[in-house]
Amino acid sequence: MPESDGAGVAGGLREALDRAGYTTAGLSERLGPHAFLHLAAREIAPLVRATRGGDHLDVLVRLFVAGVPVGRGAAEAALAPAGIDALAGAGIVGLDGGDMVGLVGLRPLDGPAPWVVAHDLGRPAGGVRPDHVLGVSPSTMALAGATIRRPIGAALDLGTGGGAQALFAATHADRVVATDLNPRAAALCRLTMALNGAAGVEVREGDMLAPVAGETFDLVVSNPPFVISPSRRYLFRDAPAALDEVCRDLVRAVPDHLAPGGHCQFLGSWAHVAGEDWRDRLAGWCAGTGCDALVLQREVLDPAAHAAGWLRQTDPPDAWQPQYDEWMDHYERHGVEAVALGLISLRRRPGGPEGGDGWFRAEEAPQDFAMPCGDHLGAAFELADFVADHPGDRLLGVVLAVAPDVVLDERARPGDGGGWAPGDRRLRQTAGLCREGEVDEPLAALVAACDGTRPLAAVLAEAAPDVPAGVALPVVARLVEQGFLLPSPA
């Protein structure tokens, strides 16, 4: 297991990595475009073949990506100036007969700087250990891309794992605290910070928010163990509570740790329970918290697919049966018809719970986002504020403009008498959350007429004179909330 911080050897190890070109681009060029897909599937043979040349980069990839032994002499040369004995003492490499093996994984990560994240190697021959620390995954990058990035005083990375979110937070926060219940994760996070010179990140051990009792933050990000199952085998995966209660409990507890106007964003999972609308379920979580909430449901899976997808990551298929039956019995017992995955974003209102309930928005968002989209998510809260401050006819005096990322797609179909007849019209965002929706010709004309020069009353009089304001205003308000139309400084 790595030493508590790895600082004693991190400088030399990072020098060796940089000298060898151990970057995302360097690994992609050496291993091919599908390298990390092979790695996720534990298909080591392609990686071993691609690194048969034996130069320093090949040796480092075999140690810290493929997880296969290399000769001691080759390892010592590739890892200089970091000494083999010091690295072994820190738990970063070990001896396997006369060969050296990597005891941790090191994943290059493209950020504002060329980072390296420490984690556990993929599925070893002996199976995944209960305190396994995941590397950089698609969910890692999804959360990083969706996080609101603004200069702030303090940020918290809750359940940090290898520390990727803490690295991103350190680029725009004066102070970052990273916490994890798993002592091994905390140790690997300290190694990550040492490798990247992120001395301002404080790493603490403890369960959920216990390590930051009494503290508040401008941003809390988390990728908690949200998997809905009866299992308690893995710290990184299995929620220590029934069904989706770990996510519910986070929603209920985190507002006490948010500064006024502060945001919490986390990936979570929730159950679709028979006889209950999932929106009502999550609205109940947020009620009374003093936070505004935006929930984006990204994926909904049949329970069987959900169970298989997670078991596939830790066990060979021929060992699934007892666990698979246990998972499926669990879903049937609790009336779970589907399992959803999505992003929950909260913003603490200035008055907190005493200031009354905030607003709650939940939408299905299966479309691809244009990453990063954190600025668009931050704007969603501000646009909701704007609409709330302009109820009813007050919106008529506002000057609106079409957002610069919005396009109108039109499709035509063959007409009955030849030629082309108008078909579907869809407003579509080409950036951020990439929302889209069907519009008719009058609404498309109304949106186009919002050119940032005239108040909405004048636009309606010209582009939709036959539509009553009471009908048009709710539609326009929705277009503003979703970012198709924006308030203009004019």
From the CB of residue 439, how many other CB atoms can be counted at a distance below 10 Å?
Answer: 20
Is the pLDDT score of 214 beyond 70?
yes
The span from the CA of 425 to the CA of 326, in Å, is 48
Which of 82, 41, 42 is CA-nearest to residue 66? 42
Q: How far is CA 451 from the centre of its chain?
A: 35
| pLDDT tier at 339, thresholds 50, 70, 90 | very high
Q: What angle do CA 377, 401, 349 make, to 5 degrees?
A: 35
User: 254-285, pLDDT tens digit by residue?
Assistant: 999 999 999 999 999 999 999 999 999 999 99
The span from the CA of 388 to the CA of 301, in Å, is 35
pLDDT in the model for residue 123:
62
Q: Determine the CATH number of domain 388-487.
A: 3.90.930
6's tokens = 């790895």
User: 31-65, pLDDT tens digit by residue?
Assistant: 988 877 777 777 889 999 999 999 999 999 999 99
pLDDT in the model for residue 124:
60
Q: Determine the CATH number of domain 138-375.
A: 3.40.50.150
For the chain, which residues make up each domain, given as ranges? 7-103, 138-375, 388-487
300's tokens = 């909904």
From the CB of residue 293, how many other CB atoms can be counted at a distance below 10 Å?
Answer: 23
Q: Is the peptide bond before 81 cis (omega within 30 degrees of 0)?
A: yes
The span from the CA of 26 to the CA of 23, in Å, is 5
Please check whether residue 368 is in contact with residue 435, taking contact to mean a CB–CB distance below 8 angstroms: no
pLDDT in the model for residue 409:
95
| C-alpha atoms less than 13 angstroms from C-alpha of 443 in its C-beta half-sphere | 20
Is the pLDDT score of 66 beyond 60?
yes
Please check whether residue 303 is in contact with residue 339, taking contact to mean a CB–CB distance below 8 angstroms: yes
* 288 dihedral zone (left: phi>0; alpha: psi -120 to 50; beta): left
Which of 87, 91, 103 is CA-nearest to residue 15? 87
Length of the chain counted residue by residue: 490
Q: What mean pLDDT is predicted for residues 201-225?
A: 97
Q: What mean pLDDT is predicted for residues 148-166?
A: 98
Q: What is the 3-state secondary structure (H, E, C) of the chain?
A: CCCCCCHHHHHHHHHHHHHHCCCHHHHHHHHCCCHHHHHHCCCCHHHHHHCCCCCHHHHHHHHHHHCCCEEHHHHHHHHCCCCHHHHHHCCCEEEECCEEEECCEEEEEECCCEEEEEECCCCCCCCCCCCCCCCCCHHHHHHHHHCCCCCEEEEEEECCCCCHHHHHHHCCEEEEEEEECCHHHHHHHHHHHHHCCCCCEEEEECCCCHHHCCCCEEEEEECCCCECCCCCCCCCCECCCCCCHHHHHHHHHHHHHEEEEEEEEEEEEEEEECCCCHHHHHHHHHCCCCEEEEEEEEEEECHHHHHHHHHHHHCCHHHCHHHHHHHHHHHHHCCEEEEEEEEEEEEECCCHHHHCCCCEEEEECCCCCECCCHHHHHHHHHHHHHHHCCCHHHHHHCEEEECCCEEEEEEEEECCCCCEEEEEEEEEECCECCCEEECCHHHHHHHHHCEEEEEHHHHHHHHCCCCCHHHHHHHHHHHHHCCCEEECCC
The identity of residue 100, as a single letter, is M
Q: What mean pLDDT is predicted for residues 208-231?
A: 96
Q: What mean pLDDT is predicted for residues 68-81?
A: 96
Mean pLDDT (the chain, rounded)? 93
Same topology, domains 138-375 and 388-487? Answer is no
The span from the CA of 23 to the CA of 252, in Å, is 40
Which of 68, 75, 100 is CA-nearest to residue 20? 75
217's tokens = 């933050």
Is the pLDDT score of 92 beyond 90?
yes
Q: What mean pLDDT is predicted for residues 468-484?
A: 95
| pLDDT tier at 490, thresholds 50, 70, 90 | low
Please check whether residue 404 is in contact with residue 337, taking contact to mean a CB–CB distance below 8 angstroms: no
Which of 302, 312, 311, 310 is CA-nearest to residue 332? 302
Please check whether residue 335 is in contact with residue 272, taking contact to mean a CB–CB distance below 8 angstroms: no
Q: What mean pLDDT is predicted for residues 10-39?
A: 91
Q: How far is CA 105 from the centre of its chain?
A: 21
pLDDT in the model for residue 33:
83
Is the pLDDT score of 355 beyond 90?
no
From the CB of residue 33, how many other CB atoms can be counted at a distance below 10 Å?
Answer: 8
